[in-house]
Structure 1
Amino acid sequence: MVKAIIKAFRLATCKVSSSVIIPIIFYLIFITFILNITFPNGFKSQHHHHQHRNNNKNNQDSSDEDNSDSGEHQGELNRIFQSESMRDGMFQEPMILSDNADPISILKFAFKKADTNSDGLLTIRELAKYINLRIRDHIDTSIKRNPQIFAEIDKSPSDGIISWNEYHTYFLKNLKLNLDENYINNHDEKKHVKLDRKAKEALMRDKARWQEALSSDPYSLTLDEFLAFMHPEASTSNLLNLVEDILRHFDTDGDDMLTVEEFTTTYSTKDDNKKLFLSDNLEERRAEFKKLIDKNHDGKADRAELLQFVDPRHSRYAIQEAAMLINLADNNDDKKLSIDEIINKQDLFMGSKFISLIENFHNEF
């Protein structure tokens, strides 16, 4: 596996200097080793589960459709949990629109992509699958592009780490303000006289996130820290920290495992639940544990199972988002959304993961 990673990485970064390639290769080897040591069985079981699902694909297709319309009064999350099958082959391609498209055009475009059976209505399943596609595509792309962007920024000097000055220069060069080189290299960072309000606010947010991502060095970011800075939702180390937070909060007997009782009876505030991406409803949380966390059904959840659970690519994020959108926008209570219902709540949808995926993730993580 390590050889395959190194080979792929060399092909992708053949033009990058050796001073950048070597630290990155060692980093990838280190991360692979740590994950294999920490989760010796978790990823194998996930792979086995994936193969099992593919072998039973035809049977699941029919059962999924039967379950999707049953239990209308069970609650959106529990109903979907009973037949979870977010298969890659059923996803639509990502949304591509021009920057100056108006909100209604954007919503109509996304609606058409999500409406897989072209009946003019979005079910919770269609909506969740479309959102899940966008999440998966975004995270996979972020991880693949991270070394490339890192190398583009790591210039002064090219030493395998990125300083704030290097990132600040990169930020200014990529603004659509046509700033000249002299201004970029010599301006007063405290004033930013040529930046508009939107650019200033974005830079301030980046500065705050930069400070949060620093760990090994008080001034510069490593490759993984840079991924956590740019896309915290895609960083394995960030997700591992979230797993530790869940264990620290709910693991009352200190055995590094969670039971359904610990997960549902340990007191947690709404702020705790929001930080850990957990439901406030204890019955929904119990269903989450049994259907989405405890994959091997042994009554306990280890770190590998929790890591899969907190990964934004897990279908629960998309299901929860879809359920929330339908609950807020479904005016005729048919558990489906028309394009008129979506346009009627255009501010809600434009600010949701249905459209504004990156902004949502950066606010959550």
Structure 2
Amino acid sequence: MELRPFAMCVALCAVYATSKPMEKKDRIHHDPQLSDKEHNDGENFDYDHEAFLGQEEAKTFDQLTPEESKERLGKIVEKIDEDKDGFITTEEMKKWIRFAQKRWIYYDVDQQWRAHDLNEDGLVTWEEYKNATYGYILDDPDPEDGFNYKQMMSRDERRFKMADKDGDLIANREEFTAFLHPEEYDYMKDIVVVETMEDIDKNGDGLIDLEEYIGDMYNHEGDPEEPEWVKIEREQFIEFRDKNKDGKMDKDETRDWILPSDYDHAEAEAKHLVYESDSDQDGQLTKEEIINKYDLFVGSQATDFGEALVRHEEF
């Protein structure tokens, strides 16, 4: 059975054992790019395929015939149409793209769910999670371990309670996902900020000063002179992070730092897909409109062969 804090402890030990003073720790939560391909529909639709399906899923469509691709795309369209009104709105398209891009999160939740839903009732209680994760550690602690599991358990309980919207200490799948990946949920972002501040705030004043900020991302040990990026980070703290110029970052300033308002790639791609496929220009898509433009959304042997032919002709 997977023990989350133990795995975290091992991971932390590995980081500190192998990291070098020159390496930089990044606390900022960015939405990842939808694809590392160039977005140039004049050349191909590779970017759109990966944005719509996710990178790994997009590859599977390249092995299908056009008919098979259309059939599978049709089934996806039915999933995207959440209210079952026969139309795909930009909002529904955006939600699907975000889901497709974050399948790894749901895979992780599936793994954790099986380990913690001990009575297999489709719910995870705090007691189930606590017993599965901390049970034997607290029953038989290792005096030489030096790791404060009680503190970690208390922190997990606080996060679990925040994820648990109805306050019954029983998490459904969505609440459990919010517990494991709080950065993905707006109502959990406060706890992301609080936990980050607790990690960095070494003097316990509830704020992050310049030295704590630098100390979290840079280890001075064995490095006679600060690298250039550390000097830049000092300037960033003084000029941009510490907005009220009191020498420290409070909760709001920390939130602005680690949870920036990034450009919404999923929304931009959703608008692009709707615009390019909306033949009657009513601002929403039917299943037929999407299938008619199937090569914009998904690949197939035909598109893959066409690209291979182009590559062959270049030599």
Same-fold status (TM-score > 0.5)? no
State the TM-score, normalizing by the size of structure 2: 0.36
State the TM-score, normalizing by the size of structure 1: 0.31
Query: RCO greater where, 1 or 2, for CA within 8 Å and sep 6 or more?
Result: 2
Higher-Rg structure is: 2
